[in-house]
């Protein structure tokens, strides 16, 4: 059996092909049981990654449904009810009494699906979130290979909860990753369209759009730069028109990201300030603190590796738009200026940059498919328990079986 010698970080950056074997994890091919170990350490295929996503979905939903009303949990999860209210207002084009807060990209998609199919706002939300989550994992496989996409699918509790209970992250990530994939295929106009749509779902998508413009400007490719800029402006203007007409502020949703409770009233401030302040002033369960700071230090360690790694610098030169998105996004992640949320929502906000964290830490990722499936099972159970409240689980189980 011949083994292809690979560089782990560059492997993560390549489009995945057939299953590959990482030579560094196969100490002796001719030892007893070596063939089985080799199969376990071969990179998972795209179908296996999609099956892994399906497993987490079934465990998450199947674990919650017998214990409580799943649809009621959807309604009360995160910003789901707010998105449904906006989607309903868009469908009826009646914004009287509507509170402007979240960006409207997801509600527009929900309203469009509801008008096309007659589905309820809640059903539209769940269809879009499930489909976008699956698409994100599939695109991540195309971009970074099986190990990165596999661990991206299973590591983050917030990712599962937003995927299966509703949230803007799945749609945002799907559009963002699709934009990166379009760039790799040299389809810059499509990339700018997808990045523009991502921006109206979550505003930090603007970094990808700016990255596209800067990359084309650096190349002096004005023939592609002009339609890319025009596309971004067109999407922005179309998004702003209803806000200007009905709320007398074309940037109404953007202006909600300012609050006198924040340091200086701004969304972003000094690095770590709000994380530390929120930890000191707002009590939280020990498990929550461990999980939050685990993500904070994991991403920070990955940033240090990115800075020091020559391989990552090579990756950055090959994919400049991704890095032009990554750098300001990471800065915003650590300077988010609302003490009440800065620590507790860190894992959620880190979702779009998790693949880059995994790329930076690629050499340390345990490349064993058995572990991937076992960890996927465990994390989906824990994510479901976290969604309904760990303290509530025992009583709910007793009620369900009694």
Each residue's pLDDT tens digit, 89-120: 999 998 887 877 788 999 999 999 999 999 99
Q: Which residue has the higher pLDDT, 249 or 245?
A: 245
Lowest mean pLDDT among 52-56, 226-230, 394-398: 394-398
| Dihedral sign from CA coordinates of 56, 159, 124, 387 | positive
Mean of the pLDDT values across residues 169-174? 97
**Confidence at residue 263, expressed as pLDDT on a 0 to 100 scale:** 54
Query: Looking at the whole model, is its pTM more than 0.85?
Result: yes
Alpha-carbon gap, residue 289 to 24, rounded angstroms: 35
151 confidence band (pLDDT: 50, 70, 90): very high
132 confidence band (pLDDT: 50, 70, 90): very high
Listed ranges 128-142, 327-341, 387-401; the one with the highest mean pLDDT? 128-142
CA 198 to chain centre: 12
Q: Integer distance in angstroms from the first to the last C-alpha of the chain?
A: 56
Q: Read off the DSSP letter of residue 313.
A: H
Residue 164: name the closest of 390, 383, 376 by CA.
383
Query: The tokens of 167 are what?
Result: 């949230």
What percent of the chain is predicted at pLDDT more than 90? Answer: 64
Mean of the pLDDT values across residues 17-26? 34
Mean pLDDT (the chain, rounded): 86
Lowest mean pLDDT among 18-22, 114-118, 134-138, 298-302: 18-22
**Confidence at residue 33, expressed as pLDDT on a 0 to 100 scale:** 43
355 confidence band (pLDDT: 50, 70, 90): very high
In the block, tokens 């990554």 appear at 326
Residue 317 has pLDDT above 70, yes or no: yes
**Confidence at residue 190, expressed as pLDDT on a 0 to 100 scale:** 97
Q: Which residue has the higher pLDDT, 156 or 344?
A: 156
3-state secondary structure of 239: helix
Write the CA distances from 374 to 56, 85, 154, 378, 379, integer angstroms.
11, 38, 10, 6, 9
Residue 19 has pLDDT above 70, yes or no: no
Residue 303 has pLDDT above 60, yes or no: yes
Residue 259 has pLDDT above 70, yes or no: no
Alpha-carbon gap, residue 2 to 18, rounded angstroms: 14
Phi, psi torsion values for 186, nearest 5 degrees: 65, 35
Residue 197 has pLDDT above 90, yes or no: yes
| Dihedral sign from CA coordinates of 374, 376, 377, 378 | positive
């Amino acid at each position: 059996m011949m083994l292809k010698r690979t560089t782990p970080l560059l492997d993560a950056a390549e489009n995945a092909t057939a299953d590959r074997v990482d030579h560094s994890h196969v100490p002796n091919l001719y030892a007893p049981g070596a063939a089985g170990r080799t199969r376990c350490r071969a990179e998972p295929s795209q179908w296996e990654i999609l099956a892994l996503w399906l497993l987490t979905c079934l465990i998450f939903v199947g674990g919650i449904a017998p214990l409580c009303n799943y649809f009621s949990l959807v309604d009360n999860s995160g910003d789901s009810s707010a998105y449904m209210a906006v989607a309903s207002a868009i469908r009826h084009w009646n914004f009287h009494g509507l509170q402007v807060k979240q960006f409207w990209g997801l509600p527009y998609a929900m309203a469009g699906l509801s008008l096309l199919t007659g589905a309820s706002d809640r059903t539209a939300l769940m269809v879009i979130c499930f489909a976008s989550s699956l698409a994100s994992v599939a695109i991540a496989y195309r971009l970074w290979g099986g190990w990165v996409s596999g661990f991206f699918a299973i590591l983050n509790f917030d990712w599962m909860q937003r995927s299966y209970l509703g949230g803007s992250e799945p749609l945002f990530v799907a559009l963002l990753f699709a934009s990166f994939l379009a760039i790799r295929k040299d389809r810059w106009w499509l990339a700018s369209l997808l990045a523009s749509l991502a921006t109206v779902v979550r505003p930090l998508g603007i970094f990808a759009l700016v990255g596209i413009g800067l990359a084309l400007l650096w190349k002096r490719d004005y023939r592609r730069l002009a339609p890319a800029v025009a596309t971004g402006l067109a999407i922005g203007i179309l998004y702003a028109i209803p806000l200007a007409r009905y709320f007398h502020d074309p940037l109404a949703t953007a202006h909600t990201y300012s609050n006198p409770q924040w340091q200086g009233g701004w969304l972003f401030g000094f690095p770590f300030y709000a994380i530390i302040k929120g930890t000191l002033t707002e009590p939280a369960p020990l498990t929550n603190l461990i999980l939050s700071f685990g993500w904070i230090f994991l991403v920070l360690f990955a940033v240090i590796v990115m800075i020091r790694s020559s391989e990552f610098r090579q990756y950055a030169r090959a994919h400049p738009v991704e890095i032009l998105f990554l750098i300001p996004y990471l800065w915003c992640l650590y300077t988010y200026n609302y003490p009440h949320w800065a620590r507790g929502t860190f894992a959620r906000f880190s979702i779009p940059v998790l693949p880059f964290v995994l790329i930076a830490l690629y050499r340390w990722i345990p490349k064993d498919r058995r572990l991937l499936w076992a960890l996927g099972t465990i994390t989906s159970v824990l994510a479901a328990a976290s969604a309904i409240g760990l303290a509530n689980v025992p009583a709910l189980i007793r009620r369900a079986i009694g």
